[in-house]
Amino acid sequence: MLLTREADLFENSRSRLEAIAYRLLGSAGDAEDAVQETYLRWQAADREYVETPEAWLTKVLTNLCLNQLTSARARRETYVGQWLPEPLLAGDPMLGPADTVEQRESVSIAMLTLMERLTTKERVVYVLREAFGYPHHEIADLLDITESNCQQVYRRAKQHLAVKRARIEVDEAAARRIVEEFLTAAVSGRTDELVRLLTDDAAIIGDGGAFFATLNRPLVGAERIALFVRLAIKPSGAKWDKLGGKPTPFAAIVNGRPALVLVAENRIVGVVVLEVTADGIAAVHAHVNPDKLAHANRQWATYAPGAPLPDLW
């Protein structure tokens, strides 16, 4: 049984641990499981010999995440359709620190998806260094590698994740304007309206899991995306039935980006995250797998989304 002081110490670390685990795993559910397992190990540990609890907890969590990443990649090889990280609404503690551009960028859907290219060690080093400011010597201790090796791993990760375009950061008002403009163009029936908002090399990725058939691979190119979105968003009784009813559209900030949130029967049934650059919308990430929306739906119960967008269907 944990003493009150030791239990409080863990609880004070929980948000940080969940934020690390989410960035490493891309899954809110898996992050919560990893933190819970860390708690159980903390509960069973001989804490008298733990000199620095924060470092001990981070090391245990990191090792658990490394194991989960290995098994998760095997599961994703058999995942139906394309895989995207779970979306998180603004204000979720799991998003972690957001004081710097690097911290905010590290939790975007686009960056979390790119991180899938990294080795497990590269991902850990990048996340701890870029998003949480851990010094190389501490990360090296956590991974049982040398400090110079840690620095090399970090440089490789940075090279793999180099972002060509500067992202535009938005507040709630700007997010609503961008999302409404996107939705208006999407339902207008005129592809040129949507093409105008997209970059020439824009890409769309859809994650419907086994529940909702989406693209088998990313679709690239403004014209192709506009044609696909026009068909995908066209009203249909069968489509609404699949989602649980005609959805009400809302604008929100998800993982730091403008997002269209579709709600039916007080439940999120779809999240479309827009990656916006100075040149236009460079990526569209569409989440309709209900398993991936479970955490967001728990958030939605206490979220204040503002007024719905105009009903354009």
Place of tokens 């159980």: 40
Q: Which two tokens stand for residue 225?
A: 């995306």
Question: Do residues 23 and 106 make contact, with C-beta atoms less than 8 angstroms apart?
Answer: yes
pLDDT per 10-residue tile (average), the chain, 313 residues: 78 96 96 96 88 93 94 79 94 94 92 94 97 96 96 96 77 95 92 95 91 84 94 80 88 96 94 95 95 95 90 78
SS3 labels along the chain = CCCHHHHHHHHHHHHHHHHHHHHHHCCHHHHHHHHHHHHHHHHHCCHHHCCCHHHHHHHHHHHHHHHHHHHHHHHHCCCCCCCCCCCCECCCHHHCCCCCHHHHHCCCHHHHHHHHHCCHHHHHHHHHHHHCCCCHHHHHHHHCCCHHHHHHHHHHHHHHCCCCCCECCCCHHHHHHHHHHHHHHHHCCCHHHHHCCEEEEEEEEEECCCCCCCCCCCEECHHHHHHHHHHHCCCCHHHHHHHCCCCEEEEEEECCEEEEEEEECCEEEEEEEEEEECCEEEEEEEECCHHHHHHHHHHHCCCCCCCCCCCCC
User: What is the predicted pLDDT for the residue at 189?
Assistant: 83
| Residue 305 pLDDT | 85
Alpha carbon distance 33, 27 (integer Å): 10
Predicted pLDDT of residue 34: 97
Q: Which two tokens stand for residue 209?
A: 């899991």
CA distance 112 to 136: 22
The pLDDT value given to residue 299: 93
Q: What is the pLDDT of residue 70?
A: 85
Residue 142, pLDDT score: 94
